[in-house]
Amino acid sequence: MPPSTDKVEAARACASNQMKKNVVLTVPSNTSIIGNGSTAKIIHGNLKISGASSSAPVDNVVIRNVAFEDAFDFFTAWDPTDSGGRWNSNYDNVSILYATHVWIDHCTFSDGARTDDQFPSVWAAPYDGDLYHVQHHDGLLDMTKSANLITVSYTHLHDHAKSMLMGGTATASLTAETPGVLKTTFHHNYFQNLVQRKPRVRYGMVHIYNNYFAGSNSVTLYNWM
């Protein structure tokens, strides 16, 4: 896509590209990230567990005892094709794509103190201002593009709008978003004060058991969603 001819949008895109260099942390194969003690955190970062393609995935990754907090996008973009128009962030707390044999265990995911309801709506008619707040956070833990053989266990996800997504598009394909993968197990997790995607499963073979759900989709923090 060529650079925008709009100077403001071009400046936003430039700043967004610079931010990406600082907040995205890539994880290679055969890696374990284990938090030491009760204060291990990754704040304002996007942990990306990703290979190059479905035929060259990252494999064998363990993330344990880490709190992921506030993957905040300062330069969020307006997407008129998303549900009739939405402000979208670039960053999940953890993104799993083109990856296999991933275990997320005893972790915590949230927006921290900087929840999206604190930020103003940017809108104009015919859009409803209650729906069009700028979204500075995306998913807490998203699995897309041939992610496979994933376990999420004993993990706390809380105070966020879009929690977990499996499958990144509404249309399946034989390569990037195939229903033949996304084999995932969720067990002994705590979903608290989340609006949606607990999890949202577009594709995959999902085993969910012994999880605890608290709150509802009318959580006060996110009554604008």
Residues with a known catalytic role: 197
3-state secondary structure of 117: helix
Query: With contact defined as beta carbons under 8 Å apart, do 190 and 129 qualify?
Result: no
Other beta carbons less than 10 A from residue 210's beta carbon: 10
199 phi/psi in degrees, rounded to 5? -95, 170
- The full length of the chain comes to 225
Query: With contact defined as beta carbons under 8 Å apart, do 96 and 68 qualify?
Result: no
For residue 123, how many C-alpha atoms fall within 13 Å in the half-sphere facing its CB? 18
Query: With contact defined as beta carbons under 8 Å apart, do 73 and 91 qualify?
Result: yes
Helix ranges (DSSP H) in the chain = 7-23
> Nearest 5°: CA angle at 75, between 74 and 79?
130
Interstrand relation of 86-88 and 77-79 (parallel, antiparallel or unpaired): antiparallel
Chain centroid, CA 124 distance in Å: 27
